Amino acid sequence: MPSSVRSRRPAAPSARRPRKRAYHHGDLRRALLEEAVRTIQAEGVEGVTLRQVGERLGVSRTALYRHFADKGALLAAVAREGFRTFRDALAQGVAGAATAEAGFAAMGHAYVRFAVTHSSHYRVMFGGFVDACDRDPELEAEASAGFMVLVDAIVRQQATGHLRADDPQQMARYVWSVMHGVAMLIIDGQLRGADPEAEVAYAIDRLNRGIVAVR
Amino acid sequence: MPSSVRSRRPAAPSARRPRKRAYHHGDLRRALLEEAVRTIQAEGVEGVTLRQVGERLGVSRTALYRHFADKGALLAAVAREGFRTFRDALAQGVAGAATAEAGFAAMGHAYVRFAVTHSSHYRVMFGGFVDACDRDPELEAEASAGFMVLVDAIVRQQATGHLRADDPQQMARYVWSVMHGVAMLIIDGQLRGADPEAEVAYAIDRLNRGIVAVR
DNA sequence: ACCTGAACACCGTTCAAGT
DNA sequence: ACCTGAACACCGTTCAAGT
């Protein structure tokens, strides 16, 4: 691997196009990401195959390695994207509500709604496919940002005396556990015979009752 | 498949050995099951490979097909076994406690303890690997038996007026969601930095407070 | 009845080679 | 710089054949 390559940048060969539409794609990285999401939605996470993704994009099955370290990195990128839109969904849930209490409930509904409508993303995010952010610090940051939205909401409600004065982190982990449990059982189809919306509503009621301050 | 086989039980060929040690194993089915569990514990569910399992047992990689329909059936059998010991663990948790309330808490601890110490079984049982009991009615029965232990405990505590008079099934689904959420986050390593025992204790406290009857 | 061995259609990943 | 094609070491499953 001669390092002289680096300094030898030949002048742009034809005019000065931003991207010269080389080979098949302008932005293969983006295309790979989108195709992966599409496949996950259609066939689940284990249905994602580098060969199939490549073929569907009219590209060699090894072209991906120019843009991602390996298959795990592809999935991690999907998860990262998921965490960003997840956090937005949560924040929007809180923002649209009149009272802090209503905002809390709205956040719960938003949580499960995201898990159900983006179950492919959700599974990649929390299903243990990406090995808990170990390899991707950016992913870690995105994930804990979502957790922070929850902690903030709790702190605000503790300040008004509406929630118990427990360690907010501890309480946030509990709230997260509850919503995660409900979401997982629903998208895994384990709660069959039960209406998902009703399930969430009941859970939020009972959850809330368990953490409010005694008047 | 001639049904005459059933009535034609030939006399034991040499003395009266329980199993005549044919080929490599007396009970290959059992051996396959145990090897699968061992592999799952060591390398996770996706580490289970029919070829490797066979090789480790000194048997061809296709020998398994005499005893299980396919790989999914093997995992389903592991799950079924898991459900049985799971139910026992739950029941034992309730039985060992003095009061009904203490029994309830004990059951929660037993739930998460099982998930943590048998995380391989737990993941196969609830991780969506066996496609929610669809193919195995026996598995379905085993799973709902475990759920019934929970429903029974709830009904008993509703009778004494200790728990709210909600639909016991609905309440059981909620309690299950909470414990499942806590268990999953713990065994997925998502709750890092938190003591698992403390996490469970806090969860049970808050959970309980949310479903007790108002005095 | 129980197991084998070769074969088939898949995987992810590497690497020399093309443009 | 970006992509290809052949190759490697893996999969699960089928099926004719052995004992």
**pLDDT surpassing 70 at residue A101:** yes
Among chain B residues, the shortest Cα distance to A200 is held by B174
pLDDT confidence of residue B203: 97
pTM: predicted TM-score of the whole model, two decimal places: 0.84
Least confident among A29-33, A60-64, A120-124: A120-124
Cβ pairs A/B, distance under 8 A: 92
- Tokens linked to A85: 């839109």
d(CA B36, CA A185): 25
In this prediction, the residues of chain B whose per-residue pLDDT falls under 50 are 1-22, 133
* Interchain proximity B177–A173, CB inside 8 Å: no
**pLDDT surpassing 90 at residue A46:** no
Q: Tell me the DSSP string of B118-146.
A: THHHHHHHHSSSS-TTTT-HHHHHHHHHH
Residue B67 near residue B83, CB atoms below 8 Å:
no
Residues of chain A contacting B177 with CB distance shorter than 8 Å: 178, 181-182, 185, 199, 203
Q: How far is CA B129 from CA A102, B75, B87, B132, in A?
A: 37, 8, 20, 8
Residues of chain A contacting B184 with CB distance shorter than 8 Å: 180-181, 184
Q: Tell me the DSSP string of A42-80.
A: HH-GGG--HHHHHHHTTS-TTGGGGT-SSHHHHHHHHHH
Residue A120 near residue A45, CB atoms below 8 Å:
yes
**pLDDT surpassing 50 at residue A84:** yes
Q: Closest nucleotide to B47's CA, by C1' atom?
A: D11
Residues of chain B contacting A182 with CB distance shorter than 8 Å: 174, 177, 181
List pLDDT tens digits, range A141-168: 888 888 998 999 999 999 999 999 999 9
Decide which of A91 and A112 is more confident.
A112
User: Across chain A, what does the average pLDDT equal?
Assistant: 83
**pLDDT surpassing 70 at residue A198:** yes
pLDDT confidence of residue B45: 87
> In chain B, count of helices (H) and strands (E)?
8, 0
Chain position carrying tokens 């909401």: A153
A66 CB and strand D closer than 7 A = yes
What percent of chain A stands above pLDDT 90? 53
